[in-house]
Chain A
């Protein structure tokens, strides 16, 4: 069974060693997803699998046979940017841009987690599934994505803007 990548099909590699990150970049030549630390510490390689954010550097491609993988290239539609991509531009959510695809994929997955009511480390009441994406919640939930330029204020602003527009 092939993997579904950004709506298209791709056979998974026969070598079990190939990470999902290397598969996407080197085999499929989708270079949007970035290799930062390659050890699960920076979040630059974040992609969505069946809508959930994961680290592609710690995933073996062979494990994702038949699954639906979305990279930054698959977020927009018909040449139009995803609202978060536009918001990152409008709100100066990056300087060098290296962490940006991971930040945006992560934020897309994060918003779904909030809508589902997944608690975070800073959620006061665990019984509460109507989570308000406060500044503290947003920062905590995005803490798996590092930005060495320190564009965090713009990143938080971009995500908060789109989230506020779309509502929870």
Chain B
């Protein structure tokens, strides 16, 4: 039997001290880690429960919002300031998981949740470079309908499963991190790394580093934003493609756009090429499709997921079209 200890962190200092040896895992709501432990994909020897740490959602001096990492997904989605000033984030959260899971899952845990690639989960029967570096990948020549088309490597084609993170990427969120050696901040867009030849290393966090909060910059009041998710059933399913988009128009011209994609990449995918292609152009469908194509030019579809290229192209254009109409009406 694998030995397992459990401790409830009383504060951030206590938490990072308990996990300083790199052996422990921080435990949030458990919605992903408990499942992974049951499947023996994760076999930590110590759990440090951080659900008692800050779950406060409070305005910042610069007009943004600071969200404690232990805030539950539901608490974020229902918060008045999130609903009114960051509707894209509220929409993304309620598009994910089920109500029961959103009541349990923390913001910090959502950021660090792991892929739902079935080969990653199949500890007994499948090869996976994310589980066992160098073992090989059974997804690349297997059933890869749900897998990634952007940012993949010959070692890994898994997607990052979060909806919330896609909105946070588009919102330029900043992640606050603590360890025994101090604190630092990491842009959400830089938190997750691409698989390259080490898909087992998913973030830039060092062992023992703890996410303490997620900070949202002040929203741009001239922007209109939303989140759209395309999935196999109308509720409670992971994204095939999702789009978080914010658009600012000046009469018919696009002043600026922020765009991020989910379900298509190993990390929340900030679509900066598309943003560049949108800036200063007329807000018409041809522009939207052109921007989508710019972002998807490097897509490397697999036999099972080539449909995602076209699906992403159309969804991006549809969401930008919707926002344009909303601005004008």
Interface residues of A (CB under 8 A from B): 15-17, 19, 38-40, 43, 46, 52-55, 58-60, 62-63, 106, 109-110, 113, 116-121, 123, 126-127, 139-141, 143-145
Contact = CB atoms under 8 A, between A and B. Distances in A.
25 contacts: A16-B47, A17-B37, A52-B74, A53-B99, A55-B31, A55-B100, A59-B34, A63-B8, A63-B27, A63-B30, A63-B49, A106-B100, A113-B74, A116-B78, A118-B77, A118-B78, A119-B77, A119-B78, A119-B90, A126-B90, A127-B83, A143-B98, A143-B234, A143-B235, A144-B97
Interface string B83-104: 1100100110011011111011
Contacts of B100: 43, 46, 53-55, 106, 109, 144
A156 to B, nearest CB: 14
Contact of A17 (B4, B94, B95): B4
B38 interface: yes
A123 B51 CA distance: 28
Contact of B103 (A17, A52, A117): A52
Given A53-B103, A55-B100, 4 more contacts: A58-B29, A109-B99, A116-B78, A141-B99
B116 to A, nearest CB: 10
A61 B35 CA distance: 14
Given A54-B103, A119-B78, A60 B30 contact: yes
B236 interface: yes
B104 A144 contact: no
Interface in B178-210: none
B30 A119 contact: no
B5 interface: yes
Contact of A16 (B4, B91, B98, B234): B4
A6 to B, nearest CB: 19
B307 interface: no
Contacts of A126: 83-84, 87, 90-91
A56 B311 CA distance: 36
A116 B234 CA distance: 24
Interface in B38-65: 38, 47, 49, 51
A104 B199 CA distance: 41
A157 to B, nearest CB: 19
Contacts of A106: 99-100
A144 B101 contact: yes
Given A55-B31, A127-B84, A38 B38 contact: yes
A47 to B, nearest CB: 9
